[in-house]
Structures are given as structure tokens and as C-alpha cells.
Structure 1
């Protein structure tokens, strides 16, 4: 398995929680699953070396990683229906096709479509998968996931809907998973946290100016988030609890809490977001992140601290106020200063990272510190 999406699959990662203090975590940034075809001749779905999805009795099952309403393969390639024939394939640097869903029965749908086609290739009993039939050599099938259903998001625990092959030819790591986010239409009456009408709710008070300017890195003392909480517009009243990952997508946003001890009295604080290049992160830490789209995000400071029970509607309906600090277009290899202020000793400050309406950023990363910081931090000096 390549290192491109090591953090998305099962890598051993190191996260610095505070200066001089680190822990080792084994985690998975997305729910893992296998696909099989449901029909007269069910097959596990594997791939050719170029990423094309293929079924067959001699095909080794691929492990895919769920990303809310899209998925990538075990090499981090985005899976989509390639034109003009609309063949299912996963390609390097390709944004995965959005619009997938895995209902409780495990039978996948794509924009509401649940019937697909497996078409003979002439290579033994191997078949390619298509969105529409391409001729008489095709037969209707369903695509069945063995995990990541709407009823649960743990690998391998999905309902076994319809006929499936007896066993997979490859193993899947059973590791903790991050909440999958959907990009279904917003529920009636809900508003997006990226653009709520009138920025409803109480706004945070301005923070005092800093005494001096800290560097936007980890060379000084710094604070790691004490809590990361994902929220989801498609499930506005659902509390997803704490996470080790930051996520931004058309529906997913992430909340961050920072706590400032009494020892920070008189110090300056600088909030910054670091997104190193993939090559630097892989070479120095052996980990990576998933990033597609134009990189547009909005940073906001919240009026009160988030908790593991905070939901999308707590923000959208103004139960927790917010103040937008500005939009950025993230690009790998850069660090972005979000805000500077006099450290509020003995208090906390919370932030939200979301996506502006109408954009297509998809970012999921493991929040980690030294030697290469990835995510949101506060430098103090």
C-alpha cells in the first residue's frame, strides 16, 4: 500500500499534544470497505494496475475508503465514472465522484441509481463495471458494500445484502473510523454554517491585541487543540463526538478548542493553519492527507467553547455564535496566519473551519505536530 493515503488507511502516526509530549496513535481517517457485485454471478471488485475496477473469480478484492458520499481506493486514487463509457475507475489526482450513498442494506446508490452493469471483457470471467449498459455482453448488477453503511461506520460490519462472494482475498484493517459525511441536500429550515443568514447568534467579543508577534511554527511553545469535533449539514442535530482528524467538505466542518493555562498570562498568541506538501510530510513522517478541489475554506472564531456534543445546528441556529475571520484558498506547502491576540490566560478559544458555499474543497487530515505540523495550532511567545 502506497504512503499517499497512509493516514487514510492504517498508518502508525505520531502526534505532539504539547511541546515535549507525544503519543503514538493507530487510527483510520475513513471507514474501510470492500465492494462486490450482486446478481447471477457475484464477484468481489478489485482493480487492474491502472485503477480500473474489475470483477472476476481470480480478481483480488480492493479496499476502498469512504469519504462521505465518495470514495478512494487503497492507493488514494479518486474513484469515478470515466467518460465516455462511464466505466468505474480510480485515477491519480482525480476528484472522486460525489453522490454515492450506502444505505443500511449495504446496496450502494449513485445519485439514487442502484442498478449498474457488469460487462464481459473477454478475459476469462472478468467483467468491467459501468453506469449504463454498453451492449448485449452486459448484465444488471447491484454494488454491495460490506461496511460503512448509514447504520454504522465501522469497517466490515455492514449488512450483507443479496448474494456475495464467500470471502475476500485481501484483509482489511479493523481500526477506528472517522464519521463519514454525506453531501445530500440540506434539511428544510437549516442553514449552512459557511454562510448563515445575518451571521445569526451572539458574536464573540474582540480579543485584545498581542504584545509581540510570534512565529507561525512550532519553534516557540505552542498549543495543540484540546478537542476536535466534526459537524455535518446533512445530519444537523447529530453529535459526532471528538475526533483526531480535521475535515472540510461541502457538508463537513470541524470545530477546534484551545485551552490557555494561567502560565500564558502576558504572552502573545498566534493561530495558524499548516498544510505542508505531501512530499515533505511523507518523507519526514511517513503520513499524508486527502485533498481535492480548489482549497477554499472559511475560518471563524466561536462565541463559546464547543463540546463533544456540539452539532451543526448549534452553529447554524446561533446557539453558539461565531465571527468569520476570512476566507482562504489553501494550497499544500503553505502556512496561514488566522489570528493574533494577547493570550487569554485561564480561558479557552474555539474555532471552526468550514467551506464557503458553492465550492468543492475536500480535505481530511490527521492533526499532528512535530516534526512537521499539520492542522490548526496556536504559537505562544
Structure 2
């Protein structure tokens, strides 16, 4: 008999009733150190006082009016994002998946209005994750994402991750856009090499192809930069943002240059909820906090502490861990066994992590995690490795 909640998730046997900072608590009082942050969503931890205040203040004034009307909170957040990035304009959504749909539409509309309607092909990469809508799964192309959902949206081609020769051959004057995550999240915390990003940018410029960066997981301060592409010095034409931008409140955004967005006139896209006053009030406060240079420098510092500790963990437990990769507080532990086993062992030690592809365990803590919680996390991960070794 099917349950009231559609059974599409393999849920952990845990139910949390409250949280504070980097800690979550179950109804029976068990406390867990959260290194997943809702899959990189709770950028400032659980029940962040600054965000509670922003949400409460706005909730007492106005929740929703729809995009039929001007929304001052939306305009303030858009201006803040434009001021801090390459972008000239912003469209607000409720999720990362919705940003993928608009990015695809915007790119195709650009070429259509530019007199090249045949330019519909997107180049994407193995291991990518861009959401779960039909367009987003067509971009990812993996069997587990697309099986049973055909026919898929046409015009997507997946290349091997990091294969420079394949990219050079694939990009032509008929390509619509290249879409990629500067650091793959679901794919196993795999950063695109800066030199390769620079080459892709140059190839796009030479052929008139648009470049779309998916920073849904790696953006909003997670790497010690406001956005991960800043590490390479390469800027996109269109960028997808979500997860951390709302600090736990559903919010996404598509950022674009004026050039890339020039075909998106009134009526070409819309959203009933996207960018409502509640979401944008919280998003503005998140953006103000995480974009501060001192805050970003501290993310990088904390990331270095965590990485050093993880490297030591790898050295002590080579039977379980073989390496560390990633940037800032978006780190991955490569495992010798299925990462789901490590996640489950973590439950027993009171620590929460997230599995990814390529046998990688994702560590995505709150960006303001205290140093003492990093120390405690490393201690608990050490116990996880010890318990797995004892059970082997």
C-alpha cells in the first residue's frame, strides 16, 4: 500500500525536530553534527538568528503578491547580485531545477532571435547534475536519471568529464551553449581545471556559443569565493544559483549578461512564486553576509583546517579513505567502499554526511561552522573509520 508521501526517496531512519548552528536534534534528544547542511543549502547553519530576524520582519509585512506587481525586495536582491557579479540582470525562481529550465530557454531564445534558430545543441558533461525536470535530466543524460522518461528533450550531448580534445571537437558554430558545474557536486566533488575552463570560454567566444555555469551547489561562498568560477578567472554568460542563496528558504536565481538575456522580453518566462517578498528578504540577508570579504576569507581558512584534518584522516585510515578533493567547504573524501556505508556508519557516531558518485563522501558544512565543531567532526569521522575497520 502506497504511503501518503510518494516514496521516491531512500530516507535515512532519522527525523529531526530542531537545529541550531551545525547541530540537529531528534525528537528523543539525540544530537547530530551536520556536515551536509541540507546538501549545501543551510549556508549559515540551522536557525541562523540573522535569517530568522529577516524572515520574521518580512513575514509581518507581506508574504506574496505575484510577479504581476513590482516587488521591492526582489529589486534589492537583484541589485545586490548584479553589484557583486558579472551579471547585468537576474530572474528569481524557487529551486535549482527551475534555474536549469530558464537557462536552457534563454540560450535557445538568444540564438533564435539572433537569426540562428538551428543552434539548439547543448554540450554537457558526464557526471553532471542540473536538476530533475525533463530538460535538466536531458542535460545530465545518465541512465539513472533518464531511464523510463523518454522521449527526452532533444539537443543535448554529453562529453567525458575533463576531456579537452572532445570539447574542442564538439563545439562548433551550431552549438547553442556549453553547460557545466565549475565543481561537480553529485558527480563526486570534481573541480574543472582552471586551464580547461579558460579554453572552453575561448572556444565559446570564437564560435558565438553561450557559456552556462551551474553554481547551484558550488556557489554562494562555498569555495571561499562568492562563486566558484572566480577561482579560475572565467566568467559565464548565464549562471544558475540556488541552494545556499536562501539559507534554507526555497530560492533560486538565473544571473545573465545583458547580451545573453536580450531576447527575454515580457511574456517569455514567468513564475507565480519566484522571487516573492519572503524569499528575497532572506536571500538579501544571506547575500550581504556571505559576500563580505572577511566572511569569505574565513570560509577559506576553515576549509583549509578541515582539509588538513581530512588528509590526516586519509593517512591514518587508508583502508577506508584514499584522498581529498574540492575547494573551501565543498570537500570530498574518496572512499574504498560505497560512500553510503560510510554515511550509515556516521549515523551511529552522530555525524551527518552526504554520498556522491565516484565513491565520494561529500562534506558540505555550514559556512560559519565554528572551529571547535570542525575538530569534533574530524574526531567523529575518525571513529567512523575505526568502526568500519572493526566490522570488516
TM-score by length of 2: 0.26
- TM-score norm. by structure 1 comes to 0.26
Q: Which has the higher helix share?
A: 2
Name the structure with the higher strand share.
1
Q: Which has the higher contact order (CA 8 A, sep 6+)?
A: 2
